[in-house]
Structure 1
Amino acid sequence: MICCLNPDCLSPLNSDGKKSCQSCGTPLVSLLRNRFRVIRVLSDEGGFGRTYLSEDQDKLNERCVIKQLAPKFQGTWSQKKAVELFAQEAKRLQELGEHPQIPTLLAYFEQDNCMYLVQQFVNGQNLLKELQQRKNYRSGEIQAILLDLLPVLKFIHDRGVIHRDIKPENVIRCRTDGRLNLIDFGSSKQLTAKVQNFGTSIGSHGYSPLEQIRDGKAYAASDLFALGATCFHLLTGVSPFQLWMEHGYGWVTHWRQYLRSPITPELDFVLDKLLQKELKDRYTSADEVLQDITPKQQLALPAAGQTSGKLLITKTQYLPPKSVLLKTVVLVSAFVLLFGFNESWYNQYRRIYSSLSSRLTNNSSRGQVVLAQPQKPTLGNITLANTLKGHKNSVAAIAITPDGQIIVSCGDDNTIKLSHLATGAEIATLQGHSQKVNAIAISPDGKILVSGSDDNTIKVWNLQTKAEIRTIYGHSDAVHALAISPNGKTLVSGSDDNTVKVWNLATGRRIDTLIGHTFWVRSVAISPDGVTIASGSFDKTIKIWDLDKASLTHTLAGNSETITAIAFSPNGTTLASASRDRTIKIWNVAKGTRVRTLSGSTETVTAIAFSPDGLFLASASRDRTIKLWNLETGEELRTLEGHENTVTSVTFTPDGRSLISGSEDNTIKVWQISN
């Protein structure tokens, strides 16, 4: 399809190959500036132009946004003002686009008497649409929004710019990492600019403060008022514009009467100070707000059930033989109580008993037993063995067949690709999804592949014939996470509809829906014994479910940011979780307690994977690196560099001799691990 660029065209989409618009007769432009292909209209700017979704031909058809300025009344004050603001927006984006939560300027040009501004596309939805779907927000979620946006405001204010039009429509939550992006800098002004009173009141009534609407003057504190009004709207569901129409600025003095439920005292204090009518009574900087809204840190001591992440051995401990015998009896008794008299408890006991036995040495000179310091696991050399071309723009997820011979990958070109691990040669491309494929999983016998997509469906494929077996419907939003039980009978999926669903893999019939998360579920995992499901969400929690009973066991809370990935250790006793706070947390699954925190990434951790022997953990990050960690000590062992964009996925081959990574740079890298 080709889109007509006439801002007044009522039906702008045309079939490929057409020379003029079938609706309005305007000549069609296949590529703007011989580079940008316009796909469809995103929004209409009321006669001054439109905003379009487009593809950048110079960047492998990467999505971008094109804003068009086509004022009707040439030479008028309105036209001159519109052009001025349009040019200012391009300049601001060029200055501020280095921030990861502000779209980057790609191009700015004039063509056919129209101005065009091309910027990075943020794949997500704005907070107004999110509010319409969710209906309400809790105190903690509003606090998280403030903590996400205030550093962005600090960034632009430190550079002498104020936004002047902060409102829910101008804040987009990115679907890939959940970060809030600030858009639409067309109203922005330099803090040092002199503003005339007449005709310069730019902003949105209700969100913009009195000094900005009445006097045309804006300060950092003006943006902070707009941020407070935005949070008020999300918290109450009441539009500040409607309140302004009815009460002017009187509503800010009694904003609490619109609350649906009580909020925390801290948030109450911050919102009240953000919404002060008079400039002198309001916060003057983002730093001041951050100081009041940031959770107070606890003393740097491990909480109950946690460790500092380091193995401390201060001296050799001597245990009389009777004590060793007694401790062994206690250990066996504990396992009997936990697992009962069956093969499961015995295997668990033998595994730990063997581990303890390897650490016990006989001190013959004293006839006593000494607990020796464990040997540190060693990680061999890691070298880049091969780089495979991935999908059209980026690789979203990867998986390895159980025989370790085939790499399966999915991406934003709506396809799934199968490639030889050894040679990198493409075996097949599976097509069937109508939108981006986010997640894939392979059955333990290597015969079945499942895929989840932005088209809200799950597809089941025969890996041997490469044919689609069936499509599973049931989620009402994008499917982002999949896991198959060890016996190959059960499929678990996580979705942006906030649910986890359990399916019969053989029939595709839904067994149950697990409800409990309040935001997108972006990761699921099944324990190696097939008993437990873990799910991670953008609501900052990890939930542990009983698979057979389809019931919630407990919730792992205390995360300061959204959960991006989770994984069970090979023995099933440990769960690792990655978060937007740039850390990885290691959990004791049975107790629900945090064991340690691994930190060292400079950006969001996007994916994690345990080595087959359970000694090491690999993590991928938005900082374009892969890190290898010693799980026993929490030590960072190695950092692998080579990707040119966010590393989206990482996994070990079953034999542990290779590490595979996928990235938004459209490549899959094979790393060889040698002793």
Structure 2
Amino acid sequence: MICCLNPDCPSPLNVEGTKYCLACGTELTSLLRNRYRVVNLLSDEGGFGRTYLAEDVDKLNDQCVVKQLAPRVQGTWALKKAVELFKEEAIRLQQLGENAQIPQLFAYFEQDNNLYLVQEFIDGQNLSQELNQRLTYQEHEIQELLLDLLPVLKFIHQQGVIHRDIKPQNIIRRKKDGRLVLIDFGASKQLSVTVQAQKGTTIGSQGYTPIEQLQGGEAYPTSDLYSLGATCFHLLSGFSPSQLWIQNGYGWVASWREHIKHPVSKKFAQVLDRLLKIDFHERYQSADEVLADLTPQPPPLSVFPTLISQTHLTQSSILKLLVRQAQKPGFVSALVLLLAIGAGIASLQFRLGKTDLSANPTINTNSRADNYLAKTLKDHTEEVNTIAISADATKLASGSSDNTIKLWNLDTNEVKHTLKGHSDFVWSVAFSPDGKILASGSRDKTIRLWNIQQGKQIATLGEASLPVTSLAISNDGKILASGQGNRIKLWNLQTKKAITTLEGHTNIVNSIVISADSKTLVSGSWDKTIKVWNLSTRKVSKTLTGHTKEVVSTAISPNGEMIASTGVDKTIRLWNLETGKAIAILEGHTGAIVSLDFNPNGKTLASGSYDGTIKLWNLRTNQLNTTLKQDPSKVTAIRFNPNGKSLFSGRANYDIEIWRIFEPSQNEIGQGVKLNLSN
């Protein structure tokens, strides 16, 4: 479907391919900003515009939210205020989007005399919808809600922002991980001692809005805490604070206990009492104060084993876990723990009962304690799209939607150079075998070559009419291959001249990889096929079919015997490179898989997905060995270190992670996710 963007259209949905809206006659916009396909209406903002569901065609039709500002108001002041608040929301999202529980801002632009804001789509239900299905919540569920949301409020308040409209409709429980996401920052304002609003412009919702915000437009961090308390009461009782406020004004907060169906503990009642104080001076003044009253005292050392997942632990594993736990706020000091190790704890091996760590985002929920997040590299200001590692494992290159490439020194984990020159997203990077040259491909339709040592551009290859989606350099250093549209161009890396163009795919070539012997090129395309090319004859030797949706990533095993392919259908397929026959199908991801890489020893295949996880597949046992997850944001790129002992991952949250990897022995078996062997 395609959606009409006329804010007054009574029936905006139209069949794909329609040129003019059947309901209002407005010419339909196929792509906003040549990128976003609007497919459905989510809500009407009542005279100020609409909110739509859209697909980002540059990100495999990934869903996003498009907010439209098309104010139909009278008067210069009202129009100015509407534009001001809309722009303010974009600024707030840009400022706060690094938090995984706040939607990211993707774009803010003007088109056809309307303003548009594009942000992350959160798949899930808001708490108002949840409440309608279940009627009320229990005390322990409300406490879990507070423990999940209070750190988000702490974060936004530290950034100088007050939300000003916290209520069940603006809190979404994300389907993929159950975390709560705070939305709708259109009411946010910069934090100051007193924020005065013009009469009639008070922001908030009746019943959830504290008295200082309603009467004088004043807003403090404690104002958000009142709204959070009112939200908790609504979920606990099933009674809307809005209705109670209409009947009794702020008198309802003194008698909230009369409306709840199940009694609550004295301690929790005291927390809710203080959240709902009418006088803001008597309320909690910060999220930390609430957390302090909700959080139990740190556990004694004797319960430490319950923090470790079910496994046999080596001394080194115990040491790693103890040190990581010791670094956490509220835990016993690292010195005490290390003294305990010296006293003999590290020499013990535990067989521990199973403990679910998934509720604690600071602990890696891996199948082995030996796999752990060692470092996070932060310098990009937009999504990391691609990464590459030099053959000598001393340098890492990362390309981003911020249009830059970062060259990292892996000895110091610091940025050595920031390469600027592309005018649009950098989609692919590749090192020459000697590590002296980096090639980069971009949505700006150029391929650029860079001197690594100097951090300077040395050439731009040819003229491209299409964005460059993928790059690969042969191990002999002679050929650079680039995916541009449905074609693959081969370049002589020494002369920097085009050699030939490979044609055969019918849709975008999204992945190119060249075998270690520089004789074979494998390409994956949005036409759902994988093609194997002979680089001597420049001809297709095999076309592999089986994927039901777009192929996004391909990889060749180090020994040149196997191809791995994956994409939007969430499966990984293994193929015999020589015969082209299917070997196996790996399943387990719940989102599109966008990156694959073989460990240099050929024993493990890594996959990175939009579901936020990295999975390590044991190719000896045909089982999933480990799932790595530290952050819920999408994994956009993965690469093994040439030594095989670490794995690098790029994410949509702008970060690059460095994982230390344990390789299973011949007899070890993973967590039991089997392959579905194909016929």
Short-chain TM bin: 0.5 to 0.7
The equivalent residue for 1:420 is 575
1:302 counterpart SS class: helix
The equivalent residue for 1:496 is none
What are the residue-to-residue correspondences of 1:253-652 with 2, within 5 Å?
A: 253-302=254-303, 413=568, 418-420=573-575, 440=587, 618-623=626-631, 639-642=646-649, 644=651
Q: CA deviation at 1:199?
A: 2.1
The equivalent residue for 2:32 is 32
The equivalent residue for 2:381 is none
The equivalent residue for 1:247 is 248
| 2:375 aligned with 1:220 | no
One-letter identity of the residue aligned with 2:68: Q
| 2:311 aligned with 1:156 | no
C-alpha distance in structure 2 between counterparts of 1:263 and 1:59, whole Å: 47
Q: CA deviation at 1:114?
A: 1.3
Q: Does structure 2 retain, via aligned residues, the 8 Å contact 1:274–1:283?
A: yes
Distance 1:618 1:418, change over 3 A: closer
C-alpha distance in structure 2 between counterparts of 1:148 and 1:137, whole Å: 15
C-alpha distance in structure 1 between counterparts of 2:370 and 2:299, whole Å: 35
What are the residue-to-residue correspondences of 1:53-92 with 2, within 5 Å?
A: 53-73=53-73, 75-92=75-92
Q: CA deviation at 1:93?
A: 0.9
Q: Does structure 2 retain, via aligned residues, the 8 Å contact 1:68–1:116?
A: yes
Q: CA deviation at 1:73?
A: 2.6
CA distances 1:527-578 after superposition (whole Å, capped 9, x unpaired): xxxxxxxxxxxxxxxxxxxxxxxxxxxxxxxxxxxxxxxxxxxxxxxxxxxx
1:42 counterpart SS class: strand
Q: CA deviation at 1:307?
A: 8.4
What are the residue-to-residue correspondences of 1:5-20 with 2, within 5 Å?
A: 5-20=5-20
Q: CA deviation at 1:407?
A: 7.1
C-alpha distance in structure 2 between counterparts of 1:232 and 1:250, whole Å: 14
C-alpha distance in structure 2 between counterparts of 1:288 and 1:221, whole Å: 11
Q: CA deviation at 1:16?
A: 2.0
Distance 1:38 1:255, change over 3 A: same
2:19 counterpart SS class: coil
Q: Does structure 2 retain, via aligned residues, the 8 Å contact 1:88–1:188?
A: yes
1:254 counterpart SS class: helix
What are the residue-to-residue correspondences of 1:100-249 with 2, within 5 Å?
A: 100-192=100-192, 194-196=195-197, 198-249=199-250
Q: Does structure 1 retain, via aligned residues, the 8 Å contact 2:170–2:183?
A: yes
C-alpha distance in structure 1 between counterparts of 2:197 and 2:250, whole Å: 22
C-alpha distance in structure 2 between counterparts of 1:263 and 1:405, whole Å: 60
Q: CA deviation at 1:136?
A: 2.2
Q: Does structure 2 retain, via aligned residues, the 8 Å contact 1:30–1:37?
A: yes
1:249 counterpart SS class: helix
C-alpha distance in structure 2 between counterparts of 1:658 and 1:392, whole Å: 31
One-letter identity of the residue aligned with 1:158: Q
2:26 counterpart SS class: coil
Matched residue pairs, number?
Answer: 413
Q: CA deviation at 1:638?
A: 5.1
Q: CA deviation at 1:302?
A: 3.2
One-letter identity of the residue aligned with 1:169: Q
Instruction: Determine what percentage of the aligned residue pairs are the same residue.
Output: 49
Q: CA deviation at 1:224?
A: 0.3
Q: CA deviation at 1:133?
A: 1.9
Q: CA deviation at 1:312?
A: 7.7
Unaligned runs of 5+ in 1: 314-376, 397-403, 431-438, 442-450, 455-602, 629-636, 663-675
Distance 1:186 1:615, change over 3 A: closer
One-letter identity of the residue aligned with 2:647: L
Distance 1:388 1:19, change over 3 A: closer
Q: CA deviation at 1:243?
A: 1.0
C-alpha distance in structure 2 between counterparts of 1:228 and 1:424, whole Å: 64
Unaligned runs of 5+ in 2: 317-368, 372-392, 394-512, 517-521, 525-546, 554-560, 593-610, 674-679
Distance 1:626 1:295, change over 3 A: farther
Q: Does structure 2 retain, via aligned residues, the 8 Å contact 1:611–1:652?
A: no
Alpha carbon RMSD of aligned pairs, Å?
4.8
One-letter identity of the residue aligned with 1:148: D
TM-score by length of 1: 0.53
Q: Does structure 2 retain, via aligned residues, the 8 Å contact 1:606–1:622?
A: no
Distance 1:208 1:14, change over 3 A: same
C-alpha distance in structure 1 between counterparts of 2:578 and 2:47, whole Å: 55
Q: CA deviation at 1:222?
A: 0.3
TM-score by length of 2: 0.52
CA distances 1:336-395 after superposition (whole Å, capped 9, x unpaired): xxxxxxxxxxxxxxxxxxxxxxxxxxxxxxxxxxxxxxxxx999xxx9999996997999
Q: CA deviation at 1:639?
A: 4.0
C-alpha distance in structure 1 between counterparts of 2:276 and 2:370, whole Å: 57
C-alpha distance in structure 2 between counterparts of 1:47 and 1:426, whole Å: 59
C-alpha distance in structure 2 between counterparts of 1:240 and 1:394, whole Å: 50
Q: CA deviation at 1:149?
A: 0.9
Q: Does structure 1 retain, via aligned residues, the 8 Å contact 2:551–2:565?
A: no
Distance 1:64 1:272, change over 3 A: same
2:647 counterpart SS class: strand
Q: Does structure 2 retain, via aligned residues, the 8 Å contact 1:224–1:274?
A: yes
One-letter identity of the residue aligned with 1:244: W
The equivalent residue for 2:351 is none
1:173 counterpart SS class: strand
Q: Does structure 2 retain, via aligned residues, the 8 Å contact 1:68–1:115?
A: yes
One-letter identity of the residue aligned with 1:214: Q
